[in-house]
Structure 1
Amino acid sequence: MDFDPTEEQVAVRELTATVVASRDSTAPKWPDTELWSALASASLLGIALPEDVGGSGLGLVEFGCVLTECGRGLARVPVLFSTVAALAIDRFGSEAQRRAWLPGVVDGSRILTVGIDAAERTARPAASRDGEGWTLNGVLSSVPWAEQADRILFAADTADGPVLVLVDPRADGVETTAQDTTNGEPAATVTLTGVAVASDDVVVDADRDHFALQWVWQRIVAGSSAMLLGVCEGALHLTANYTNEREQFGRVIATFQAVKVHAGEAFIDTEAIRVTTLQALWRLDRGLSAEREISIAKFWASEGSARVTGTAQRLHGGIGVALDYPVHRYLLWAKNTELRLGSAQWHLGRLGELLGSAS
């Protein structure tokens, strides 16, 4: 693939960067409703959704550009999960579901999220047939933005394979319990007790070969890697500026050999995340097999972001622990996303399984 961005991709990144930079990343509010509205006004929330529902009709690489700038600017908005849920509805849902949900996602009036964990940290909820719909029972922890979302896209197990359904977090039988996260991003444990899901809210019925489940999972993981790329870029940029201004022994510390070595290693990690993430998104965009590339990208994103943000913290010295200085927030964001959607070790193990099955 060609790793050079197109003019369109450059424009998307620059526009997103401008919108995100207009907001104060230190504000504690989740979600940042003003930034959410600004992203919608700039037609960035529907960047990868089709034009017939108000989107821009671009691809996952362009969506990755938006996510990277949101990560770089520590944007407190649910753009990753809301967009991936919308993409799933567009790909697998009915025309009625598309018309009911996608225009609202594009204009920012609707928030969707995804309650799917294919890394198997917890068991999926169970679904039993109830007429043309389903009844759900089970518990899923760490569902991002569960209490803020209008609908949660859940995968629930049946004897014939998982079903993908839309659940109202305020429906009867649904209980959400807020959880604390490393960077403050909203998440909750969702308990489903006899939750009735009508046929109108069934996106995929009996996914026997797990195709739809993997389709959604792969896009969340690749998008998560794109956000971690932005987190690393932001931390590295802040560190470069600081080390080129901070003086010690009559010289800026960026000229010290040890600082150069650590900063250079952080730059290499960031570039590795960039190329592996771009390859994964590019293959998904073209309908090519990308299971291996997605795990490679998430491995680098999880491992690399921990090293990059840790290095940034250390190269700032004492000021790095000051809460009124922004560098620590990049470390918290990296830690929050490092283990979510499969840790580096989980994806390394998955790569081993894929290599073993191919031999």
Structure 2
Amino acid sequence: MDFTLDEAQREIAGLAADVLAREIDFGRPPGPGGYDEQVWRALAKAGLLNLAVPAELGGDGLGLAEVAVLLTELGRAAAPVPSLTLAFGLLPLAALGTPEQRAWLLPEIASGDALVTAAPHEPSAPLATRPETRAVAESGRWRLTGVKTNVPFAAAATRVLVPAGTGVFLVDPRAEGVTVAGTTLRLDGVVVDEADQLGGADALEVLRRYAMAGMLALGDGALAGALDLTTRHVAQRHQFGRPLATFQAVAQQIADVYVASRTVHLAALSAVWRLHTGRDPQPDLDVAAYWLAEEAPPALATCHHLHGGLGVDISYPLHRYYAQIKELSACLSS
């Protein structure tokens, strides 16, 4: 197998890096949705939110492999945008949505006018394979009851993909019976129509796998970004008249971070490749999730250590990578 990016994927990575380098301003406060809407709009204008939208809806008709390239660049830049909604919402909606659902939501996502996220996590059960959230059929409708945790950008979302019972449903986070508190979504007898259910008997598993692959790609980029930042720091910072990078102990520690980053990168690429090509991805998804959950947090701790006091300064970007890795690791450690 060859994981070398093809020409289109290299162009996506380069374009994303250019847009993010030009648009990101960490001094700019987040918008009402809790993210930098200017950066998100710039990504949409560049066509990067359109990658997985089918050609008949005006998109590029690409898939997970290309979206994963974008997610890796978003992680590398610690971009303050709703990155995971691409894997939690766009990809499963493109794969499972009815023609009406796709025609309504996918162009809106591509333009940056709508966010669709998902709620695959439940209390003490990240990426739950058998959701405790109930879906009870009632007079041609469904009534949903349960609690979802770690729902990215739930309050800003147009719709949330909610696994419940044996299906996945599109839920309006502003509907009666829905309570959003931070990233927790509570459903108290929320009524949804049959038209709000996504198709496919394997909808739960498809959503779960896309969510895993997206988190892995984003985490791969975040760890690589932290490594790049730390490598530049130890090359430029001097002690006793010499760059920190020339000290043997420092070189060994940064090498350990490099090994962890490359291992996560290879594992994530393999998992994404298998899912993208229709092979059974679960063993590779599980291996990559293990490596990210077990190796990335200690690697970030080493990066903090090598930065000294600068690493915990909120005006310095390292804490953004740490926060992202901590959140992703918690969700992948099931």
Which category of TM-score, normalised to the shorter sequence, fits these structures? Answer: over 0.9
Deviation at 1:83, TM superposition (A): 4.4
The within-5 A match list for 1:24-103 is: 24-29=25-30, 30-103=34-107
**Of 148, 152, 161, which aligns to 2:160?**
152
The within-5 A match list for 1:147-186 is: 147-157=155-165, 162-178=166-182
Query: CA RMSD of the aligned region, Å?
Result: 1.7
Segment of structure 1 superposing worse, 66-75 or 123-132: 123-132
Deviation at 1:304, TM superposition (A): 2.4
What amino acid is aligned across from residue 94 of structure 1 in structure 2?
Answer: T
State the SS of the aligned residue for 1:52: helix
State the SS of the aligned residue for 2:84: helix
Identical positions, percent: 36
What amino acid is aligned across from residue 42 of structure 2 in structure 1?
Answer: A
**Which residue of structure 2 lines up, in the alignment, with residue 8 of structure 1?**
8
For structure 2, the 5+ residue unaligned runs are: none
Q: TM-score, normalised by structure 1?
A: 0.87
**Which residue of structure 2 lines up, in the alignment, with residue 241 of structure 1?**
232
Contact 2:53 2:60 in 1 (8 A): yes
What amino acid is aligned across from residue 2 of structure 2 in structure 1?
Answer: D
Q: Does 1:128 align with 2:136?
A: yes
State the SS of the aligned residue for 2:315: coil
Quote the Cα distance in structure 1 between the aligned partners of 2:315 and 2:283: 40
After the TM superposition, which segments of 4 or more aligned residues of structure 1 sit over 6 Å from their partners? none
Contact 1:25 1:73 in 2 (8 A): no
**Of 194, 209, 216, which aligns to 2:189?**
194
**Of 264, 282, 292, which aligns to 1:273?**
264
Q: TM-score, normalised by structure 2?
A: 0.93
Structure-2 change in CA distance of 1:313 and 1:28 (3 Å): farther
Cα deviation code 1:311-337 (max 9, x no counterpart):
111111122222222222221221121
Deviation at 1:265, TM superposition (A): 0.8
Structure-2 change in CA distance of 1:141 and 1:117 (3 Å): closer
Quote the Cα distance in structure 1 between the aligned partners of 2:146 and 2:19: 39
Cα deviation code 1:143-185 (max 9, x no counterpart):
221111010000111xxxx11110001111111112xxxxxxx
What amino acid is aligned across from residue 224 of structure 1 in structure 2?
Answer: M
State the SS of the aligned residue for 2:53: coil
What amino acid is aligned across from residue 77 of structure 1 in structure 2?
Answer: V
Structure-2 change in CA distance of 1:127 and 1:85 (3 Å): same
* Number of residue pairs the alignment of both structures matches: 326
For structure 1, the 5+ residue unaligned runs are: 179-186, 347-359
Deviation at 1:89, TM superposition (A): 2.4
The within-5 A match list for 1:217-256 is: 217-256=208-247
**Which residue of structure 2 lines up, in the alignment, with residue 283 of structure 1?**
274
Deviation at 1:26, TM superposition (A): 4.8
